[in-house]
Structure 1
Amino acid sequence: MSEYFDELEIRKPEARASAIARALPEQILRAQGLAGYGETLSEIEAGSITSVEALAQLPVLRKSHLTQAQAAVRPFGGLTAQAPSDFAHIFQSPGPIYEPGGTGHDWWRMGRFLHACGIGRGDIVQNCFGYHLTPAGMIFENGGRAVGAAVLPAGTGQTELQAQAAHDVGVTAYAGTPDYLKVILDKADELNLTLQITKAAVGGGALFPSLRQDYADRGIACLQCYATADLGNIAYESTAQEGLIVDEGVIVEIVTPGTGDPVVPGEVGEVVVTTLNPDYPLIRFATGDLSAVMEGESPCGRTNLRIKGWMGRADQTTKIKGMFVRPEQVAALVSRHDAIARARVIASREGEADVMTVKIEADGASPENFADAVVDTLKLKGRIEIVARGSLPNDGKVIEDLRSYD
């Protein structure tokens, strides 16, 4: 079994940049021809968007836009490059939001992750992701086909039957949420069944170090990926276990929450993804998740960008004094004044009243300098504290709620 899924994983940065320069204009041109994008991309010269940096000129596509578009044009909101009946599957996620699915070779790009887990021909994968309406089960099944493994479509629940099946058919690999594998293993122990699982590909939840170690103690190598129903695989772990390596079929940006503005490398921000899938060209799709770029390349030899994995949610909209304060309002406050490097809104309580404190990174300034801007952009009066540049936490938060709701 080759160490790498394909040569794309170990390309030199210049070769990857050159490929992006060819693929991006074509993908944007496809999107411009779709009714679901309306006027949002009409003024863009597709041929001028040839790099990740140039993508920042384009608007961010949010999940709320998908909901609105799908309400107008069923089922995919006019955002797919082919008719709904031409897809192999149509899925429904909470919202509801509908997603297309294909059965072509590695359509969801999950094969790359399974290969990194060491899964391939000769393996039988017990796929414990759901097959009912939502796409996770088919995403991993498609990946199993891409690497030549057999798949036991187990789905969720019925743990005793799952343990029995794993024993009877000689399952060697698990795919599912991080914690459910332990449930199966414990049930197998209870039933005195010997299992042959040595590999695990997990997603859809947090893989805690203690749980990974528990699997390692059982002789199971467990790696995790970051994927969504809309985009498929975005990034994945290799055996190096140093961050998540961005998949070759997507472009990832980290932006200030509530905006489309890229953050400084290493700073926590919202994950925005452009997929190069020609069937479903999502351009600068905001996932709502927080992460950060990691410096350098993975020790495993894969050369693409790495991110730190899931670090929370970017949607920090908070109601203060009966009014919603949104991340984009905080971003507007920062952009209004050149003197402001960063800002953070903190909601707290004093007695039975809400208090809004706005912490502003600015050198040698007075709180009074920003009082009008705070009211104009946040629509509320609040305390203003000037803090030193670089002193606000690098956690992606621009709104922090300290109130207790117990």
Structure 2
Amino acid sequence: MTVFFDALETRSPAEREAAHMAALPGQIAHAQAHSAAMAEMLRGVDAATVNSRAALAQLPVTRKSELLERQKALRAAGGDAFGGFAALVRGPGMSRIFASPGPIYEPEGSTADYWRTGRALYAAGFRAGELVHNSFSYHMTPGAFILESGAHAVGCTVFPAGTGQTEQQLEAMLDLQPNGYTGTPSFLRILLEKAQQTGANIGCLTKASVGGEACPPSLTAWFQEQGVDVYQTYATADLGLVAYETSARQGLVLEESVIVEIVRPGTGDTVPEGEVGELVVTTLNPAYPLIRFGTGDLSAILPGSCPTGRTAPRIKGWMGRADQTTKIKGMFVHPSQVADMARRFPQVGKARLVVSGEMANDSMCLQVEAAQAVDGLAEQMEAVMREITKLRGTVQVVSPGTLPNDGKVIEDARSYK
């Protein structure tokens, strides 16, 4: 039995990077030609010159909130429901349209394993001829279809269980004896606990690919005690599969068709390897050519390669949300404003705004890392803080490496008792 889904997983990192950078100019040009929204955002960009990570980092980041606003604006004007982002048109090339909260509408192309999740399921041990019990929702949102397409790519049969109706789902498991489960980890736990309570034997279930919510190591260990090996999948309705867990359980391996950057929250500036920041993804999917799409999720790149032999970069997994916009004394303060403050002072590295106090008695302290003490730096930055946020606060200068590596740009330490 082969260990890998395909040969792409074991190519050298240099070969993979060269292939990605060679494909990037064509994807940029395709986006400019077939996606009205990307054409507007990339106006003036010479696609042929975007053939390196440094060049890619100069392009603007598109965040989900912007995608939603563009969709709303065009829909209100009787225009494209996708906000000009999709390169597909309705017909044979677009098999389905989904709706995520917002609502945000997403197209599904008609190509096999459009969401590219076969790779994740294969790494989780799913194999041809097995039955998959799929408990993701089949109603409006794409979650169920994202995993179902991957199961079909592996050669599995799928039982479309959907959500809820625990007793009926358990009855179907007893009758059909599925080998694997796809869905949220919380619902899998409900099913297993219900089976224990009723004495139902579903020992046939030995593997699971879960997503949609966090699955901490303690929960993974509990599943293993029940005889089920659970692997996490990180996918979105916009991007498809981004990363997946392997038997090594050391982070999540990046999917072969995405280019991932980690940027400082509120900016498009990449951070050093290992530093926590926002996950920004460029997809090589021609149907929905999102360039530098900000997921709003925090993560970090892990050093080295996966012990399983897969050579793609790895991320730590989901580490929180990047949008840390906070209301202070009635005013919204955004991570991008914190970045603007730091940019004005070349000697400043990382910056973190700590909000403390109780109720309406808010206070702000901007903590900044600087290698060398500069006379008057704190006072100068306090003036800039007032200019940018219209609020008063203090500045504390600390040595490099002092601030936590957790991706937080704004820390809300207020008491809400």
Pair in the same fold by TM > 0.5: yes
Shift of 1:56: 0.1
2:287 is the counterpart of 1:279: yes
1:15 alignment partner in structure 2: 15
CA RMSD of aligned residues (A): 1.3
Q: Which moved more, 1:201-210 or 1:188-197?
A: 188-197
| Residue identity opposite 1:264 in structure 2 | P
| Residue identity opposite 1:116 in structure 2 | A
Alpha-carbon spacing, 1:389–1:270, altered in 2? closer, same or farther (3 Å): same
Shift of 1:370: 2.0
Matched ranges for 1:5-404 at <5 A: 5-33=5-33, 34-71=35-72, 72=74, 73-85=79-91, 86-195=93-202, 196-349=204-357, 352-362=360-370, 363-365=372-374, 366=376, 367-404=378-415
- Normalising by the residue count of structure 1, what TM-score does the alignment of the two structures yield? 0.97
Partner-residue secondary structure (3-state), 1:88: strand
Q: Which moved more, 1:219-228 or 1:146-155?
A: 219-228
Residue 36 of structure 2 contacts residue 85 of structure 2 at CA under 8 Å; is this kept in 1?
yes
Residue 233 of structure 2 contacts residue 241 of structure 2 at CA under 8 Å; is this kept in 1?
yes
Residue 100 of structure 2 contacts residue 141 of structure 2 at CA under 8 Å; is this kept in 1?
yes
Q: Distance in 2 between matches of 1:3 and 1:124?
A: 20
Alpha-carbon spacing, 1:124–1:351, altered in 2? closer, same or farther (3 Å): closer
Shift of 1:229: 1.0
Q: Which moved more, 1:394-403 or 1:208-217?
A: 208-217
Shift of 1:170: 1.2
Report how many residues are paired.
Answer: 406
- Normalising by the residue count of structure 2, what TM-score does the alignment of the two structures yield? 0.95
Q: Distance in 2 between matches of 1:273 and 1:154?
A: 31
1:249-288, CA deviations, whole angstroms, 9 ceiling, x for partnerless residues?
1111000000111001000000000111110000000000
Shift of 1:110: 0.5
Q: Distance in 2 between matches of 1:351 and 1:301?
A: 52
Residue 112 of structure 2 contacts residue 153 of structure 2 at CA under 8 Å; is this kept in 1?
yes
Shift of 1:214: 1.6
Q: Distance in 1 between matches of 2:391 and 2:137?
A: 45
Residue 136 of structure 2 contacts residue 144 of structure 2 at CA under 8 Å; is this kept in 1?
yes
Which sections of structure 2, spanning at least 5 residues, go unmatched?
A: none
Q: Distance in 1 between matches of 2:223 and 2:383?
A: 56
| Residue identity opposite 2:191 in structure 1 | I
Partner-residue secondary structure (3-state), 1:358: strand
| Residue identity opposite 2:395 in structure 1 | I
